[in-house]
Amino acid sequence: MSNAPNAAPLEYHELSIASRDNLLTLQSHILAEASKHPGSTGAFSWILSAISLSTKVIAAKVRRARLQDVLGSAGSENVQGETQQKLDVIANEVLLRCLGGRGGVALVASEENEQPIIIQRASGHGERYCVLFDPLDGSSNIDTCAGVGTIFSILRYEGGEPEQAILQCGAKQVAAGYVLYGSSTVLVLTTGHGVSMFVLDPTIGAFLRVADALQIPQTQKIYSCNEGNRLTFEPGYQKYLDWAQQNGYSTRYSGTMVADVHRILIKGGVFLYPPTKKAPDGKLRLMYEANPMGMIIEQAGGKAFARKQRILDVQPKTLHQRTTVILGSTEEVDHVLKHLG
Ligand code: AHM
Ligand code: MG
């Protein structure tokens, strides 16, 4: 800011988002969306508001993790036999606590818990929802200050026993999103009418909308996958990588799905997690990683596949089911599919 004696102090909106017409918070975006549905009870808006609150708390924890000595392993394993980081446990508790108090939540399911947790069964008074999440995606990166994220998926609760009620295909998601705790904290959300992006302004504690109707570039010569596993990929994926390298592609891979997919959403390209010798059915989880990312990418005009099937059409058999993933720019996904034969 200028120190000139007569310079007028800059207003908040001039400093931060001078080029935008409206200063819109996530909260006001949610209210505006809800007003398009006259019968809306507000339950859904309350759930999104709980996710917003949770991710602000998690963002603050991530920022101060080293100072508060919450880096490293918690000394335990989750249901999938993976080492839990202290921050995995903290992020999970924050989400459970925030969502647990919201009336519209029937069930929550997390990467960190074996079974869905019943918050309340449908009572006949208004709609109820199932909220699924990966509380801290890429948490093995946390000690290195690399980006980590939270991924969430929201389904309608249509009654029945929790284990079965939650096993709905991704096409039935009513909303999906993620938060990337990176150089800034970014929330990307779809409620099935396009994709919006928000950035957390920590000085006012609010997510501000920075993009609406976001579209993924249709093509970009970038692929994102763990090439260390290349020798155990099926031949089709290896042929695709040969082709991409002969055609001037670059590679970008951080090992945090949220960060890698966010990059592709903004810049274009394709994200792959093929079947490997170690993970023949893929590593990523269908219900709270691949499905929400698939919905976002499709809503932004891209494609999301599990081998040759649309991810959102895969009928889940178990909550923690794994899947292979190919998602991103339409033309780039097509190049991969073509090589799979
Ligand atoms: P996590 O949810 O336990 O962190 O695991 C999922 C992560 C993804 O973020 C990332 O795409 C992938 O695992 C990386 O796996 P790999 O190290 O095998 O490349
Ligand atoms: Mg994950």
Q: Is the domain of 98 the same as that of 245?
A: no
Q: How many CA atoms lie within 13 A of 199 on its CB side?
A: 10
Identify the CA nearest to 80 among candidates 329, 327, 287, 325.
Answer: 287
**How does pLDDT run across 29-54, given as a tens digit for each residue?**
998 888 877 667 788 899 999 999 99
Is 305's pLDDT higher than 60?
A: yes
Best mutation site among 82, 232, 256, 291 for ligand 1 pocket (most ligand atoms within 8 Å of CB): 256
3-class DSSP state of 300: coil
Position 4 in a domain: no
Residue 309 has which token pair?
Answer: 């099937």
Task: Identify the band that residue 125 occupies on the pLDDT scale cut at 50, 70 and 90.
Answer: low
Shared-domain flag, residues 320 and 240: yes
292 shares a domain with 184 = no
Same domain, residue pair 117 and 207? yes
Query: Which residue range(s) make up the domain with 251?
Result: 222-339
pLDDT (0 to 100) of residue 68: 80
Ligand 1: centre distance to CA 46 (Å): 30
Residues 96, 251 contacting (CB under 8 angstroms) = no
- Asked if residue 5 is part of any domain, the answer here is no
312, amino acid identity: L
Mean pLDDT across the stretch 122-127? 65
The CATH number of whichever domain residue 297 belongs to comes to 3.40.190.80
Q: Is residue 81, in this structure, part of any structural domain at all?
A: yes
Q: pLDDT grade, residue 75 (50/70/90)?
A: confident
Q: Model's pTM, two decimal places?
A: 0.91
Domain boundary pick from 164, 188, 211 = 211
* Predicted confidence (pLDDT) per residue in 141-150, tens digit: 988 989 999 9
Ligand 1 contacts CB of residue 79 (under 6 A): no
pLDDT of the residue at 215: 98
- Maximum average pLDDT range among 66-80, 90-104, 203-217: 203-217
For 94-148, what is the HEC assignment? HHHHHHHCCCCEEEEEECCCCCCEECCCCCCCCCCEEEEEEEEECHHHHHHCCCE
Task: Verify that 179 and 288 share a domain, yes or no.
Answer: no
| Residue 132 covered by a domain | yes
Residue 266 lies in a domain: yes
Average pLDDT over residues 285-312: 98
Residue 74 and residue 170 in one domain: yes
Question: Is the beta carbon of 88 within 6 A of some atom in ligand 1?
Answer: no
Query: pLDDT tens across 257-280, in order?
Result: 999 999 999 999 999 999 999 999
- Are residues 201 and 239 part of one domain? no
CATH number at residue 37: 3.30.540.10
Element (H, E) at 86: helix 86-100
> Among the three residues 185, 211, 237, which one is the final residue of a domain in this structure?
211
- Which of 190, 211, 232 is the last residue in one of the domains? 211
Residue 323 lies in a domain: yes
216: in domain: no
pLDDT for 246 equals 98
Quote the pLDDT of residue 119: 81
**Counted domains in the chain:** 2
Indicate whether 60 and 130 sit together in one domain: yes
Question: Which residues have a beta carbon within 5 Å of ligand 2, which is an ion?
Answer: 134, 137
Dump pLDDT digits (tens) for 182-222. Answer: 999 999 999 999 999 999 999 999 999 999 999 999 999 99
Q: For residue 285, how far is its CA from the centre of ligand 2 (angstroms)?
A: 7
Ligand 1 site, residue 77, Cβ cutoff 6 A: no
pLDDT at 1: 39
The number of the ligand 1 atom at minimal distance from the alpha carbon of 149 is 9
The 3-state DSSP class for residue 222 equals: strand
For residue 3, being part of any structural domain is answered with no
Tell whether 107 and 185 lie within a shared domain. yes
Same domain, 244 and 131: no
- As a whole number, the mean pLDDT across the chain is 90
The per-residue pLDDT for 6 is: 53
In ligand 1, the atom with minimum distance to the C-alpha of 80 is 3
Residue 2: pLDDT above 50?
no
pLDDT for residue 140: 86
Q: Are residues 244 and 187 part of one domain?
A: no
Both ends of the chain: CA-CA distance in Å? 59
10 Å CB burial of residue 56 (0-12, 13-18, 19+) is buried
Q: Are residues 259 and 129 in the same domain?
A: no
